[in-house]
Amino acid sequence: MSRTNAFRALTLLVVAALSPRAWGQTAAEIVARADDVRNPNAAFRFLSTLTEYVSGKPQAQNVLAIFSKKDPRTGQFRNLVRYVEPPRDAGKAVLLDGRAFWFYDPASKASVRISPQQRLIGQAAVGDILTVTMSIDYTATLLSTESVQDANKKPRTSWHLDLKAANELSSYARIEYWVEQGSFQPVKAKFYSDSGRLLKILFYRSFETWLGGLRPTETVILDAVDSSRVTTVKASEHRLQEIPEAWFQREYLPRLEAQ
Amino acid sequence: MSLQRIWAAVPIALAALAEPAHAQGEGDDELSRIPSEAPPAPPAAPSGRSRLGKTVYVESATEAELLRSSFDVPPPSPTPTTIEQRLFVDAVLHWIPIRDLTFHLSARAGLRAGEDIAFPTHENIRVDFRELYASWKVFEGAYLDAGRINLKSGVAIGFNPTDFFKTRAVVEPLSVDPSVLREDRLGTLMLRGQFVWKHGSVSAAFAPRVASPPPLYTSAALPALDPMFGRTNAHHRFLLKANVDLIEDFSPEALFYQEDGAVRLGFNIAQSLGKKVVAYAEWAGGSQSGLSQEALAFGTLTKSFSTAVADNLATSSATHFQQDASVGLSYANESKMTFWLEYHLHQAGFSRGDWRFWFDQGTGPSGELLSPLLWFERGYAQEQQAPMSKHSLFLRADWADAFIFNLELTAFANVDLYDGSTLAQVTASYAVTNLWTVALLSAANVGSRRSEFGSLPGAFSALFTIRYYF
């Protein structure tokens, strides 16, 4: 073991010895602080541009308008998603509210209820991924402290957390989560299915100040099932917005505008 | 710090030391997949008071159909065309000239040519004004809509008993897929008020009678520019529907519908069962006569045939309480596949005895005389957008990103539970780019000559479409 590694081991030994209250934080507190970094507490609206890459080449682009508001009962974000681009999807809308998921297609004028699994099929699932309040939907355990490379290949000393679904509403059975020490910025996450299959790997990058905090504006989603596929999600046009409770009724979906 | 805690921390620290070596390889692989360039900025969202939203595409559709050569009950002429070419522009526009006021337009216009369509005639031109209405937000949650509106109700996929405005509204569908039928339908002239609040919504719609009901349309006899209000506004109709969150995540919808004094009631509900299953049920009931009697009454009303001719088939014209229901499950898996299984009840539809009567009459000594009436009943049922038989089964499967990115496979089957005959259809749709989509569809009516689908003129059909969005 080299001198550098020995020093590193000693440092990590001390840090890990403080677990589960690493740096005076419990695992749950770390995840909650990272939640606060990822999203503001107030209701807000933003545009999300999804670029899908296949074998490294951009194949498709979707633009979604996402309206997010916390449910005062659960603390979890509810999302309304309206497709803006491409033209073939424009006007489609999705309601993601706790366990109630509805998909509206303007071509057929029909609202169809979709299952939690089904909502993960479409691009609207990104709304859930971006705004999921992990501290509520998951029970966290601190695994270790380690240096992990972020999306820009920069090493970040991070807490490595293991998140298990805390309730039936959780989209994923398990998440591995890396949160940078000190800044509480999310660095990376791995999402697993009920069967233990690794589905997605997320990297958070392009931290900028919006709606009162330094937050990620871009998320890179690596498809773990099909390794040729990658999706980047660029968030923009954030603004605080009053979102009436009535908007979370399925009958409102046809009237949802992107603005 | 206790010795025990330090000891417990050792494996974590060692693991952290070991981790970089392991994570490095795995991490490098992950990091190498990350695109280096940021995606281009999204298009600037429309801003200002006046906004125009549009979805416009042009589509070419080429359809070929293989007809049966022999029948127990021959269909009357003209038989469906075997090759047809359509080229049309489809536009959906939303214009918000001032705050809280929106105008909606949905229309399709195009050209068509086929073996049994004379050229050049007005039959080569088709324009359908599906929707044209104004929407005013009176205050937050309260809306008034006036004009031609496509009002859809129901939660089922294959048959919607509570979708009361579906009857006769479908025009020249490219496919018999229920989801496509909902796209190719005309709206109804109506005045609608809606209030949506935190715990539910309530809507009331009144559609006046503005035209007499026209006879059944055939593909070769469609008006070119007629808005066809006779299809959608041949009766005074009123609908009141409401859904309320009774408890968390339980929000059934109840409906009251009146058409020229006849009342139908309905309800529908859809619930998640765990992560992968959605269960749903839809029901409607009211006083009406059987399908055959309704069709014959409609035929005499529209002077499609005389009462004397209709009397050859007429049985009881008495009305009684008849129910429609659609009960189903959907299941989605992790491979982006979704399956639906739905049972349909249409109590006014044909029983096993009705089918036997239908074939016996068509093949009996008066078969030649009665054949047009018998097929009129089939055409009438098709325009009603309801199953022909009392009991049927609907199965559907969707697979997104099947085999390759942006390829969607869809298959469905409609099964008559009396005779097992089936309408089956498979569609492959591929989004070549964000603007281009191509699709190949094939459908087959499978069954014996004396079965619902086996007796239809068309045995097999194929459709190829190319669509370009502007």
pLDDT tens track for B126-172: 899 999 999 999 999 999 999 999 999 999 999 999 999 999 998 88
Give A167 to chain B, closest Cα distance, Å: 11
Contact in structure between B455 and B71 (CB atoms under 8 Å): yes
More confident residue, B314 or A195: A195
**Could you say which of B31, B203, B334 has the minimum Cβ distance to residue A197?**
B334
Question: Is B400 close to A121, i.e. CB distance below 8 A?
Answer: yes
A202 pLDDT band (50/70/90 cuts)?
very high
When the pLDDT of each residue in chain B is averaged and rounded to a whole number, the result is: 88
pLDDT score of B41 more than 70: no
CB of A90 less than 8 A from some CB of B: yes
Q: How far is CA A139 from CA A133, A163, A173, in A?
A: 11, 5, 11
Q: Which residues, in sequence order, are bridge partners of residue B259?
A: B237, B262
CB-CB under 8 Å, A236 with B55: no
Contact residues, chain B, for A19 at CB < 8 Å: 9, 12
Residue B15 has pLDDT above 60, yes or no: no
Contacts of A109 in chain B (CB under 8 A): 150-152, 182
Mean pLDDT, residues A229-246: 93
Q: Cβ of B197 and A246 within 8 Å?
A: yes
Residue B221: predicted pLDDT? 67
Distance CA B270, CA B321 (A): 25
Widest Cα–Cα separation across chain A: 68
As given in the structure block, the two tokens for residue B350 are 């044909």
pLDDT over 70 at B1, yes or no: no
Query: Does the distance separating the beta carbons of B9 and A17 come in below 8 Å?
Result: yes
Residue B12: both structure tokens together: 């974590």
Q: What is the mean pLDDT of residues A30-58?
A: 92
**How many inter-chain contacts (A to B, CB under 8 Å) are there?**
237
Assign B18 a pLDDT band (cuts: 50, 70, 90).
very low
The mean pLDDT value for B303-318 works out to: 79
* Integer Cα distance of A24 and A77 in angstroms: 27
The helix or strand, by DSSP H or E, that contains position B60, with its residue range, turns out to be: strand B51-67
For the entire predicted model, the pTM comes to 0.88
Q: Is A167 on the interface with B (CB under 8 A)?
A: no
Give dist(CA B102, CA B95) in Å, integer: 6
- Specify the pLDDT at position B153: 95
Q: What is the H or E stretch that residue B243 is in?
A: strand B237-244
Q: 3-state DSSP call for residue B197?
A: strand
Using alpha carbons, select from A187, A156, A149 the residue that is nearest to residue B31.
A149
* pLDDT (average), residues B291-310: 88
Mutate to test the interface with A, among B14, B34, B150, B192 (most CBs of A within 10 A): B34
Confidence of residue A19 (pLDDT cuts 50, 70, 90): very low
Contact flag B17-A9 (C-beta cutoff 8 Å): yes
Residue-wise pLDDT for A140-153, tens only, equals 999 999 999 999 99
**How many Å apart are CA B434 and CA B90, to the nearest integer?**
17
Confidence of residue A3 (pLDDT cuts 50, 70, 90): low
pLDDT, tens only, B423-469:
999 999 999 998 999 999 999 999 999 999 999 999 999 999 999 99
Rounded to an integer, the average pLDDT of A28-42 is 93
Please work out, in degrees rounded to the nearest 5, the angle formed at the alpha carbon of residue B158 by the alpha carbons of B336 and B384: 155
pLDDT class of A121 with cuts at 50, 70, 90:
confident
Are the C-beta atoms of B271 and B278 separated by less than 8 Å?
A: yes
Phi, psi of B18 (to 5 degrees): -70, -30
Q: Using an 8 Å CB-CB cutoff, list chain A residues near B197.
A: 245-246, 249
The whole-angstrom distance between A129's CA and the closest CA on chain B is: 16
pLDDT for residue B25 is more than 90: no
Closest residue in A to B4 (Cα) is A17
For residue B222, pLDDT over 50 is answered with: yes
Q: Give me the residue label for tokens 């919006």.
A: A210
Cβ distance B20 to A146 less than 8 Å, yes or no, reads: yes
Comparing A70-84, A101-115, A221-235, B209-223, which segment has the lowest mean pLDDT? Answer: B209-223
In degrees rounded to 5, what are phi and psi of residue B8? -65, -30
CB contact under 8 A, A229 and B405: yes
> Per residue in B69-98, is it b (16+ CB within 10 Å) or e — as a string?
eebbbbbeeebbbeebebebebbbbbebee
Residues 6+ apart with CB under 8 A from B49: B96, B97, B98, B99
Q: What confidence tier does B10 reach under pLDDT thresholds 50, 70, 90?
A: very low
Segments in B327-458 forming alpha helices (H)? 352-363, 367-384
C-beta of residue A73 within 8 angstroms of C-beta of residue A99:
no
Quick: pLDDT tens for B42-59. 555 555 556 888 999 999
Q: Which residues of A touch B243 (CB under 8 A)?
A: 249-251
CB-based contact A251 B203, cutoff 8 Å: yes
Q: Which helix (H) or strand (E) holds B18?
A: helix B3-32
Other residues' Cβ atoms within 10 Å of the Cβ of residue B452 = 26
Half-sphere CA count of A76, side-chain side, radius 13 A: 20
Tell whether ipTM is more than 0.85: yes
Question: Two tokens at B326?
Answer: 């659609």
Give the closest of A201, A222, A244 to B140, CB-based: A244
How far is it, in rounded angstroms, from Cα B315 to Cα B292? 9
Q: Tell me the mean pLDDT in the region A170-175.
A: 88
Can you give the pLDDT at residue B284? 98
Whole-number Å distance between alpha carbons of B423 and A120: 30
Report the largest interatomic distance among the alpha carbons of chain B, rounded to a whole angstrom. 103
Q: Is B305 exposed, middle or buried (0-12, 13-18, 19+ CB in 10 A)?
A: middle
Contact B192, B145 (CB under 8 A): yes
